[in-house]
Amino acid sequence: MSKRSSGMRIGILTAGGDCPGINAAIRGVGKTAIVKYGMTLIGISDGFTGMINKDYTELTEKDLSGILTLGGTILGTSREKPFKSSGKKNEIKKPDLIREHYEQLGLDCLVCIGGNGTLKTAHLLSQEGLNVVGIPKTIDNDVWGTDITFGFSSAVNIATEAIDRLHSTANSHKRIMLIELMGHNAGWIALYSGIASGGDVILIPEIPYKEEKIAEYLLHRAEENKPYSIVVVAEGVSNPLKDRSVAHYLSNRINEMTGLETRETVLGYIQRGGTPSPMDRVLATRYGTAAADMIADKDFGKMVALKNDEIVSVPLADVSGKLKLVEPDNPLVLQAKSMGTSFGI
Ligand code: F6P
C-alpha cells in the first residue's frame, strides 16, 4: 500500500444517460482504491445533483461485491448541468455549492463517470480548483480522446440481435424493415450493428442521405428479386418532422417513393438497459483500476482513455467540448461500401 495515497478520500459519481458497465467501473475504482491504496470511497447520488444536495454514502469493499454484472448505476444518475445558469435573479451558484460540499466531505478527488456533458462539467470543476478524474462511458462511443467507451459494445450486441430478428420477419412478409438506433449525433451504433447484421442501407448523421438514392437502391434490390431489405438508421440523421421519429418519416417516404411495403422499429432504451457485455465489463474494469492509480499518482484534471489497446490519461481540457464522430472515410464505411452497402448517397 502506498503511504502517500493511504487515507485519501475519493468521491465518485455517475452522470448523464446510464449504460451497461457503469457498476463494473465503480467496482474497479473502488476495489483498487480500498484494497490497493487504503483510500475511503464516498458514493455521490444522482450525478452532480448529489454534490449540490450533499447526498452521499460511504461505500465499503463489501458494497462493491455482486455489482459487476448489473446494468444501470448503483449510484443513480441525472442530467444536472451545474454550470448552466437558470437565468433567475439571486440564483444559488451550483459550482460554489459543489466546491463547498467537496471541502466539507474532505475529498481529495472526485471521480466523474460520464459522457461528453459530464466530462465538460468535470473539466470546469477542475478549472475551479477541484481534483477531478474522468472516466468515459456512453453507448454512443462519441467521446473524443479515447478509442472506445464502455456501454458501446453492449449496445451494439443488443442492436445487432434486434436487427437479426428483423431479417426473418422481413423475409416472410417481403417487406422493407427500417430500424432506428440511438447514438445522439454520432453514427457509431448504427455503423457497427448495421455491418454486424448485414444491413442493406446504413444511414448515419455524418453522411447526409438523399431520399431518392435510398429509393433507387431499394428498388434495384427488389428488381434483383431480393425479397426484403433492412435499413439501419441512426437517430441523429436529418429528420424534417419535429414531433415524429425519423424512422416514421423515412418509412413513409420509402413506401411513397418505391411502393414497397415498409415497417419501422424504434429500438430506444432497450439499447441502454441490462447486463453489460463481457467486453464492456473488462473495459470498465480497466478504466476503473487505472483511474484509482491516477488518483494515487495525483494525476488530476485528466480522463482515463484507451489508445491502441493501451490505457492512457488525456487532459480533460483536450476532451471537453469535442465530439468523436464517424469520419465519412472511416475504413468500416469504405469496406461496407465496397460490398455494396448503401449509405444513402
Ligand atoms: O447518450 C446516450 C443516449 O442514450 C443517446 O443515445 C440518446 O440520444 C440520449 O442518451 C437519450 O437521452 P435521455 O436518457 O435523456 O432520453
What per-residue confidence (pLDDT) applies to 90? Answer: 85
pLDDT tens, the chain, 345 aa long: 454 567 999 999 999 999 999 999 999 999 999 999 999 999 999 999 999 999 999 999 999 999 999 999 999 999 999 999 888 888 889 999 999 999 999 999 999 999 999 999 999 999 999 999 999 999 999 999 999 999 999 999 999 999 999 999 999 999 999 999 999 999 999 999 999 999 999 999 999 999 999 999 999 999 999 999 999 999 999 999 999 999 999 999 999 999 999 999 999 999 999 999 999 999 999 999 999 999 999 999 999 999 999 999 999 999 999 999 999 999 999 999 999 999 999
H or E element, residue 27: helix 22-31
Question: Is 140 an active-site residue?
Answer: yes
Domain 9-151+276-319 has CATH 3.40.50.450: yes
The cell for 263 is 415497417
- Give the number of other Cβ atoms within 10 Å of residue 81's Cβ: 17
Render the burial of 212-247: b for 16+ CB within 10 Å, e for the rest. Answer: eebbebbbebbeeeeebbbbbbbbbbebeeeeebbb
Give phi and psi for 322, each to the nearest 5.
-110, 160
Looking at the chain, the domain(s) classified CATH 3.40.50.460 span 153-272
**CA 107 to centroid of ligand 1, rounded, Å:** 30
Q: How far is the first Cα of the chain from the last one, in angstroms, to the nearest whole number?
A: 58
pLDDT at position 118 is 98
C-alpha cell at 255: 413506401
Beta carbons of 329 and 171 less than 8 angstroms apart:
no
pTM recorded for the entire structure:
0.97
Instruction: Supply the residue whose CA is at minimum distance from atom 12 of ligand 1.
Output: 17
CATH class of the domain defined by 153-272: alpha beta
The reported pLDDT for the residue numbered 5 is 67
- Bridge partner residues of 203 (DSSP): 233
Output the CA–CA distances (angstroms, integers) from residue 36 to 2, 40, 64, 107, 286, in the order listed: 8, 11, 15, 18, 15
Catalytic annotation, pick one of 18, 46, 108, 140: 140
Q: Which amino acid is present at 218?
A: L
CA 305 / ligand 1 centre spacing (Å): 21
Q: Which residues of 155-170 are buried (b: 16+ CB within 10 A; e: fewer)?
A: bbbbbbebbeebeeeb
Where does the chain hold its CATH 3.40.50.450 domain(s)? 9-151+276-319
Per this entry, what is the length of the chain? 345
**pLDDT score for 1:** 47
Q: What is the CA radius of gyration of the chain?
A: 22
Atom of ligand 1 nearest to the CA of 272: 4
Give the span between the Cα atoms of 204 and 185, in whole angstroms: 9
Strands 109-114 and 9-14: parallel
